[in-house]
Structure 1
Amino acid sequence: MILDRLEGPDALRAGDVPEPTGSHERARGQRVLVDVRAAGLSAIDVLQSRGEYQYATPPPYVVGSEVAGVVREADAGTEYMPGDRVAGIVFWGALAERCLIAPEYTIRLPETMSYTEGAALYLNYSTAWYAYHRAGVAPGQTVLLHGAAGGVGAAALDLAEVFGVRVIVVVSTDEKAVFAEEAGAWAAVRTDEAWLDRVRELTDGHGVDVVLDPVGGDRFTNSLRALRIGGTIVVIGFVGGSIPQVRMNRLLLRNLTLTGISMDTMDQEHPGTMMMVRNAVQGLLDTGRLHPHVGLKLPFERADEALRRMESATTLGKIVVDVAA
């Protein structure tokens, strides 16, 4: 599935491209080629389709930020062999019969997990795990989560038990509230109500210890207000569309910490970050503690519809496209 113009889902078309050569641009020269079974879509795909992603690639390019499949070729020393079942982040290229992967962005899938679930796993769980890690959460703390019905939000709820935290979600509909509570939320508050007051009630007036925010936009100021003194807010993304501005005196007067997460850029300054995250997710996967939620699965020929659904944010959980049986 090729995007010829940076005009969103309507520019997507099926077509032929040459066999992938060389290695993935993040693979440090190591070639690992995968026969794709399923591809996961994310906010990366929507932003990139309109030229708004920070690591842009010029069109035409093959869409699909996450992949699950079977290793077809692997250079020696990559720790992978032909026949291995794998999943990982590729940023683009997954909606094709074959694609290149980068070992540091890839995990092994257990035999008990389907490729559909595998395509819904690594990007969301690595992001959510790293957000909790950067926040320095401790067991017993309370976390406020935005975007709980999306892929990263669902992963963060699934990881709440791993980190020993209770999660309050901010949602816009009853349907999303039910989804979040079934996924492990301790409580849900609605955006069309005085949700900040409700958060304070739920925390006996103290506020939450941590806010995880992949949405941004006009909720951000109230998210800062929802933090207890000494709390931390983690910026994960801006799927809400706008990048909020921060009055620094809010941080000063209440001893707040504001941090962002970007694993790959962190790895440039602190080598080993990507491997740390990958190994943590792999360990949780191997012990059966991860349960990816697929909200919508569509066949390959309906990939344009999948991308439209991703852009409209009408699906609960991850959107996956079946590429091959």
Structure 2
Amino acid sequence: MRAWQVTELGEPGAVMRLREDAAVPEPGEGQVLVRVRAAAVNFPDALICRGHYQSRPPLPFTPGLELCGELPDGTRVIGTPVLPFGAYAEYALMDAGQVYPAPEALDDAEAAALHIGYQTAWFALHRRAALKAGETLLVHAAAGGVGSAAVQLGKAAGATVIGVVGGAEKASVARELGADVVVDRRSEDFVTVVKEATGGRGADVVFDPVGGGAYTGSAKCVAFEGRIVVIGFAGGAIPAPPLNHALVKNYSIMGLHWGLYVSKDPAAVRAAHAELTALAAKGVVRPLVSERLPFAAAARAVERVAAGTTTGRLVITGE
């Protein structure tokens, strides 16, 4: 089978190699073999190639953390494959207990992009921050993969959404997603905009997958009893917040590692999947697939996502 493999750690474009004769993986106990129909590209794919992710699969491995696939009986499913047999291949392995029905309302590329991003946004907004209708939600990287999910889910929850992006093109995308207020951080100070938009009160919930200056600014415009949910550090800098500031302003700092729910509370993951499937059926949420790329473009796609130059999701469709 065709498969992208990493035999040494480094930048994706340098270490991902396309093999035409890779062996089809054999399912172990509790695993199923799936034919990959589409594979979504995620920022952690680059981290895994570099050896910087929290889990390090043995070399050689096939990257790719999210897919829409087909079981031997033809059932269409989505979920995360089991490394080292990832999604950038014609076949991948999945844990039988972590296979989810693909929403009928979504095509293969959209379904492949639903699981990680929307689950992350769902748990961040609802499980961790308890977002309420009428509250103000500040979303950083609002035109990105997980940020775009947070914008859609925030609107679905009845929140006023302020999206922060970098550049005019991404600002246009955030508006199309439904953000009520869009801030281009390249030309505007999001702290000032948030305060003006909320009458000085600030954002009730902050969704931050960026870190660095995004977090620092958020602490300046978070509301009384607001909640800052730390999703990741795509900006490269991990902030070290002064906790006395959280004490004085009376806000909460929350972490969200969605992968822990898979092992600690799988029932909650299934319940969230059911909610997301229902929202997809209503047309309320639909993954923003900006590009559908051929199989040969996988390594370059990972590099582009890691560089932060893309909007929405890139999906490898397998052609």
Contact conserved, 1:8 with 1:46, CA < 8 A, in 2?
yes
Q: Distance in 2 between matches of 1:223 and 1:109?
A: 36
Contact conserved, 1:106 with 1:278, CA < 8 A, in 2?
no
* Structure 2, gaps ≥5 residues long: none
- The alignment yields a C-alpha RMSD, in angstroms, of 1.8
SS of alignment partner, residue 245 of structure 1: coil
Alignment match, 1:5: 8
Alignment match, 1:60: 60
Alignment match, 2:24: 19
TM-score, with structure 2 as normaliser = 0.91
How many residues matched? 310
| CA displacement at 1:178 relative to structure 2 | 0.9
Alignment match, 1:95: 88
Q: Which one of 149, 154, 159 corresponds to residue 148 of structure 2?
A: 154
Alignment match, 2:165: 171
Mean CA deviation greater in 196-205 or 91-100: 91-100
TM-score, with structure 1 as normaliser = 0.90
Amino acid at match of 2:204: D
Contact conserved, 2:139 with 2:147, CA < 8 A, in 1?
yes
Mean CA deviation greater in 178-187 or 315-324: 315-324
Structure 1 residue 239 and structure 2 residue 221: aligned?
no
Q: Distance in 1 between matches of 2:132 and 2:18?
A: 47
Alignment match, 1:197: 192
| CA displacement at 1:270 relative to structure 2 | 4.7
Structure 1 residue 296 and structure 2 residue 301: aligned?
no
Determine what percentage of the aligned residue pairs are the same residue.
Answer: 38
Amino acid at match of 1:155: A
SS of alignment partner, residue 290 of structure 2: strand
Q: Distance in 2 between matches of 1:85 and 1:316?
A: 26
Contact conserved, 1:121 with 1:292, CA < 8 A, in 2?
yes
Contact conserved, 1:105 with 1:278, CA < 8 A, in 2?
no
Relative to structure 1, the CA distance from residue 48 to residue 176 in structure 2 (aligned partners, 3 Å threshold; closer, same or farther) is same
Q: C-alpha offsets along residues 133-180 of structure 1, whole Å, 9 cap, x if unaligned?
A: 111010010001001111101111121232111110111211111110
* Structure 1, gaps ≥5 residues long: 24-28, 73-81
| CA displacement at 1:57 relative to structure 2 | 1.3
Alignment match, 2:77: 86
Alignment match, 1:79: none
Q: Which one of 127, 130, 136 corresponds to residue 136 of structure 1?
A: 130
Structure 1 segment 26-37 matched on structure 2, within 5 A = 29-37=29-37
| CA displacement at 1:37 relative to structure 2 | 1.0
Q: C-alpha offsets along residues 6-30 of structure 1, whole Å, 9 cap, x if unaligned?
A: 112121111133322234xxxxx42
| CA displacement at 1:109 relative to structure 2 | 2.1
Amino acid at match of 1:160: G
| CA displacement at 1:297 relative to structure 2 | 1.7
SS of alignment partner, residue 295 of structure 1: strand
Alignment match, 2:120: 127
Contact conserved, 1:104 with 1:275, CA < 8 A, in 2?
no
Relative to structure 1, the CA distance from residue 290 to residue 104 in structure 2 (aligned partners, 3 Å threshold; closer, same or farther) is farther
Alignment match, 1:279: 274
SS of alignment partner, residue 290 of structure 1: coil
| CA displacement at 1:104 relative to structure 2 | 4.7
Alignment match, 1:71: 71
Q: Distance in 2 between matches of 1:138 and 1:91?
A: 35
Alignment match, 1:26: none
